Amino acid sequence: MSISSFDDLLRAAREMTQAQRLLFVFTAAGVPEDATPAQHERYQSGQGGTLTPLMCVDKTPDEVVSFDALRDEARQFGQLWDIVFVAAMSGSASRSPTSEQAEAPLRRMVESIKSGDVAGLVPFDSEGQPVQIG
């Protein structure tokens, strides 16, 4: 299945034969404090920069009504974010992984994003559209 929007990803997670838990890391785009003028210029042109994890959460696909609902929930925490990274965990046929089981994978996601390793994660902008990184 082609993922052309967050709702495509949500639909695919709901259709999986094994129950899923979705992992979300919300990030802010920017440049480091010690960025050079060239780095600032690249960032302003839509290239380069850093992504700083701000908050994370795990949910079953049924707990996410839509991207708009997820975005509205995230806004309640007062953090302005630019990109949300999503990954999925598979459970057994009828049971999704628990939030406790998602804690370590969420921490690894945060650390991976900090180090710039976003392979295997699906990024979306604040409108729910997929983002190409790299």
Other C-beta atoms lying within 10 Å of the C-beta of residue 134: 5
Which residue in the block uniquely carries the two structure tokens 């959460």?
57
First to last CA, the chain: 22
In a domain, 28, yes or no: yes
pLDDT of residue 50: 87
pLDDT of residue 1: 53
In a domain, 133, yes or no: no
Which amino acid, one-letter code, is at 59?
K
In a domain, 77, yes or no: yes
d(CA 63, CA 69): 10
In a domain, 130, yes or no: no
In a domain, 42, yes or no: yes
The residues, ordered by sequence, that sit 6+ positions from 130 with a Cβ below 8 Å of its Cβ are 3, 4, 5, 6, 122, 123, 124
Question: Averaged over 96-116, what is the pLDDT?
Answer: 94
Q: State pLDDT tens for residues 39-61.
A: 888 888 877 788 999 999 999 99
Domain count for the chain: 1
In a domain, 134, yes or no: no
- pLDDT above 90: percentage of residues in the chain: 65
pLDDT of residue 134: 67
Assess whether pLDDT exceeds 70 at residue 69: yes
For residue 88, the enclosing domain spans 6-125
Q: State pLDDT tens for residues 1-54.
A: 568 889 899 999 999 989 999 999 999 988 888 888 888 888 888 777 889 999
In a domain, 132, yes or no: no
In a domain, 59, yes or no: yes
